[in-house]
Amino acid sequence: MSLVTHISGRFLRTPGSRLLSLITIFAGVGVILGVMVLDVTLAVMNGFRDQVQMTFVENMPMVTVLNRQNGFAGEVDSMTTRLAADPEVLGAAPFQRVEGLVSYSRLGGRERTQTMVLWGIDPELQPGVTRVAELAYPDFTDFSTDDFKGGGPGVPGLLLGSVLAGQLNVFVGDKVAVHLPRRMGTGTLDFEAETREFIVVGLVKSGMYDFDTTFAWAELGVVQEIRATESVVGIGLKVRDMRKAPLIADRLEHELGFPRYHATDWISMNTELFKWMQYEKLLMFLLLTFLIVIASLNVVALLVMMVRDRRREIGVLMSLGAEPGQIAGIFLRLGLSISLTGTLVGTVLGYLVTLALDRIGYELPGDVLFVEVLPVHAKLGDFALVAGVTLGLSALVSLLPAFLATRQSPVEVLRHE
């Protein structure tokens, strides 16, 4: 064991006065709390980003192909088959998407009306593109209403977002009125409201409040009939690698022929949201790093007091031939020892807290945030970054008291002692 290691360890075990012992504890606890809070915060930020991304790709097509001329009129089936055959595509399904109103009035109660976005989907093809059918309850296979009171071949079925159903006070089996615009001519304003009764065959809980309070789903053919059209808004695709969606969209657009055909992807459509989340994570990291800076300053204050308290020992060491670099190394290692211990304990506690939050599933106000349960995703890279920044700052600020220790004059120190 080197002289520097031995003496720094001894100073740490016997800091001197009771006040120094107390300050040592406070300095270590400060580092622990700073590291733990920063680790947990970054894990929560990661969880939010990952949860939002997964909710998008589970409920929306990863790539959407559009026909800007006639909405795939006359070529819906052939184009769907062609796109599904692409080696990077796992599934393809045509869809309609229209904004409208849904209303419901229970016997003896007032009518409740809410805005909605109605998706017309193919129940056989859609499971290959999104997880809407999996997220529906009770178990959903198709839009048949044969098993419901008042249902039958002439009454279409409807899936409702769980929050939207709650706002309407609707349960599975209830009959609701859907109001959609229907084109009556070729003019821009040639529309009239078309009302159709649906039976609610299931509710969908996606985990994202905006979706659950807005979306509804019905059979594609029914929505086309109401809107008096055989075209579709687009053909949704699920690709093998969701991160390559922009590249696949660009390639398909080129192969199909732009500008008649246009392809969009889930990343490009939500670029601003994901940029905002990334900037938010960076800002939180920078702000919470000040906690570590404050904890590091506590370590500096401790070392400065130790230098003053250990003047006699420093003078003896220097008179015995200790080099200034060795004296500086003692206090530098002392500061790093406190910071390293605090960093290790803080990292372990931060990881345990993230595990606890993930297991508990802390509920959030869905009407304020994107998600309804606090998402947590701890990443090794973030933990390593926090530990590295903490140790780097501690080493940097420990240089000052280490330098002050080397400025001691052994003759003057021993004379006064």
Taking every pair of Cα atoms in the chain, the longest distance, rounded to a whole number of angstroms, is: 106
Q: What is the mean pLDDT of residues 392-406?
A: 78
Tokens of 336: 């790093």
For residues 161 and 118, the answer to whether their CB atoms sit within 8 Å is: no
Helical residues (DSSP H) of 228-309, grouped into ranges: 245-256, 266-269, 271-309
Say if residue 259 is preceded by a cis peptide, omega within 30 of 0: yes
Q: Where residue 351 falls among pLDDT bands split at 50, 70, 90? A: very high
Contact 79, 93 (CB under 8 A): no
* Residue 357, number of CB atoms within 10 A of its CB: 19
H-helix or E-strand containing 199? strand 191-204
19-53 pLDDT tens trace: 677 777 888 888 999 999 999 999 999 988 888 88
CA distance 204 to 137: 6
State residue 5's pLDDT score. 63
328 contact partners, CB below 8 Å, separation of at least 6: 402, 403, 405, 406
pLDDT in tens, 98-108: 999 999 987 76
Task: Report the pLDDT averaged over residues 283-290.
Answer: 87
Whether the per-residue pLDDT at 298 is higher than 60: the answer is yes
pLDDT in tens, 382-394: 999 999 999 988 8
Q: Is the pLDDT of residue 4 over 70?
A: no
| pLDDT of 164 | 94
Residue 116: the pLDDT is 94
DSSP string, 68-113: TTTTTTTTHHHHHHHHHTSTTEEEEEEEEEEEEEEEE--TTS--EE
User: To the nearest whole number, what is the mean pLDDT of the chain?
Assistant: 84
- For residues 183 and 192, what is the distance between their CA atoms, to the nearest angstrom? 7
The whole-number average pLDDT for the span 223-238 is 90
Q: pTM (2 decimals)?
A: 0.75
295 confidence band (pLDDT: 50, 70, 90): confident
Q: What confidence tens digit (pLDDT) does each residue in 167-218 have?
A: 999 999 999 999 988 765 555 555 678 899 999 999 998 878 888 999 999 9
Question: Which strand (E) or helix (H) includes residue 333?
Answer: helix 324-360
- Cα–Cα distance between 35 and 31 in angstroms, integer? 6
Task: Let me know: does 59 contact 131? Beta carbons within 8 Å.
Answer: yes
Average pLDDT (335-356) is: 91
Residue 80 has pLDDT above 60, yes or no: yes
What does the pLDDT look like over 92-144, one tens digit per residue? 999 999 999 999 987 767 889 999 999 999 999 999 999 999 999 888 888 98
pLDDT of residue 301: 82
Comparison of pLDDT for 321 and 27, the residue scoring more = 27
pLDDT in tens, 242-286: 999 999 999 999 999 888 899 999 998 888 888 888 888 888 888
